[in-house]
Amino acid sequence: MAIADVSPSKAERTRARLRAAAVAAISDRGFHGTTTRDIATAADLSTAALYVHYSSKEEVLFAIAKDGHAEALAVAHAAIASFDSPVDQLAALIRGVVAYHAREHVSAIIINRELAALEPAHRAEIGAMRDEMEGLVAAVLRQGVDEAQFSIADLRITTIALLSMGLDVARWFRSTGEWTPEYVAESYVTLALRIVGASAE
Amino acid sequence: MAIADVSPSKAERTRARLRAAAVAAISDRGFHGTTTRDIATAADLSTAALYVHYSSKEEVLFAIAKDGHAEALAVAHAAIASFDSPVDQLAALIRGVVAYHAREHVSAIIINRELAALEPAHRAEIGAMRDEMEGLVAAVLRQGVDEAQFSIADLRITTIALLSMGLDVARWFRSTGEWTPEYVAESYVTLALRIVGASAE
């Protein structure tokens, strides 16, 4: 039996190159202003070669959105799994998700901007991933309230406000700016702990 | 001399009807998916009549964006002028701007989404209005720090986070939801005062 090849397959590397080219093109010209030809050319491939991997421009956008949400969710799950107390869990979750949105701000911003361009079934799938993220944050907040570590008036509004702050980092963050993703993440951890009334930590 | 007519002129009423029709059409189909004919038809006018008031579809979008930003700025200026203490000023500012973004969420969301569709000079003008809003919030925070009423680690990041929370209300708020604009606004005032370390108020 052959030893399993753990490196990404050639097809997977080509798909990753296509997604990166699509992120750059859509960031410049918007989803509706970008053609499959633009994406293929930027990835140094023919349009026919693109169609081997993705059946449409919308399929490429969906893959980008799914990747991005899956990665943000993985960061959030790992943060929660690494700690026992809700204070530490919330800090790690905000730190991880904010740093991720700052580092990956180009793809995160096009995902947020172009959600309306997804087909209904795909939009629903991404919507479910967003609901999962909201559920993770809400669960940490609920546990913090139950353990008397957080003081929160409206759990759902507090959850949404925390997510708004984190998501919007992708809109304003610039890699060429004065701040590193890590500095922004640490600053947001401080703000988040204050929001939930855990600022004494 | 005739008595001054303080009611909106017929032309101004027609322009307002065109802007409202454009908000509805762009909200449904996006700026690039909307034609001047769509806007004129929805306002019960001919395309030729639209061109009497606006030279292009982009001019209509710019007028909507300018109106929206001017109104949000007026709300913020009024909030600050109504109080002396930074705590009261910040509370009134967040209350007013969040309620405005909830009530006017349909136009606010298209303004935020379609900024890239504006011509460079128009985008710069809207950018200056956004900078003015950021400056107003930053000035209140600075005064609160100077008067030892706020405790803030990074004034600029705190300003941006407060604006992110407020702006994003337009994205998720639904008039048919469980919350009134006033309830969301009051909840955000509580969160904002905690963020600036004034939660003891």
- CATH number of the domain that A46 lies in? 1.10.10.60
**Pairwise CB contact (< 8 Å): A116 & B30:** yes
**Pairwise CB contact (< 8 Å): B33 & A30:** no
Do both A97 and A189 map to the same domain?
A: yes
A32 at B interface, C-beta within 8 A: yes
Residues of B in contact with A181 (CB under 8 A): none
Whether A4 is covered by a domain: the verdict is no
- Nearest beta carbon to residue A168 from set B33, B116, B168: B168
| Domain region containing B22 | 9-55
What ipTM is given for this predicted complex?
0.89
* pLDDT of chain B, 201 residues: tens digit per residue: 555 556 779 999 999 999 999 999 999 888 988 999 999 999 999 999 999 999 999 999 999 999 999 999 999 999 999 999 999 999 999 999 999 999 999 999 999 888 889 999 999 999 999 999 999 999 999 999 999 999 999 999 999 999 999 999 999 999 888 999 999 999 999 999 999 999 554
**Chain B 74-113, residues with CB within 8 Å of chain A CB atoms:** 113
A194 at B interface, C-beta within 8 A: yes
Domain tally, chain B: 2
> What is the Cβ-side half-sphere exposure of residue B78, based on CA atoms within 13 angstroms?
9
> Encoding tokens for residue A172?
């304003």
Calculate how close chain B gets to A17, using CA atoms only, in Å.
Answer: 26
Tokens 């710019």 sit on residue: B62
Do both A119 and A143 map to the same domain?
A: yes
Residue-wise pLDDT tens digits, A166-179: 999 999 999 888 99
Of A196, A112, A160, A130, nearest to B178 by C-alpha is A160
* Percent of chain A whose predicted confidence (pLDDT) is above 70: 96
Whether A200 is covered by a domain: the verdict is no
B142 at A interface, C-beta within 8 A: no
Calculate how close chain B gets to A7, using CA atoms only, in Å.
Answer: 39
**Which spans in chain B are helix H?**
10-29, 36-42, 47-53, 57-81, 86-103, 105-113, 120-146, 155-172, 181-195
**Pairwise CB contact (< 8 Å): A30 & B165:** no
Do both B129 and B93 map to the same domain?
A: yes
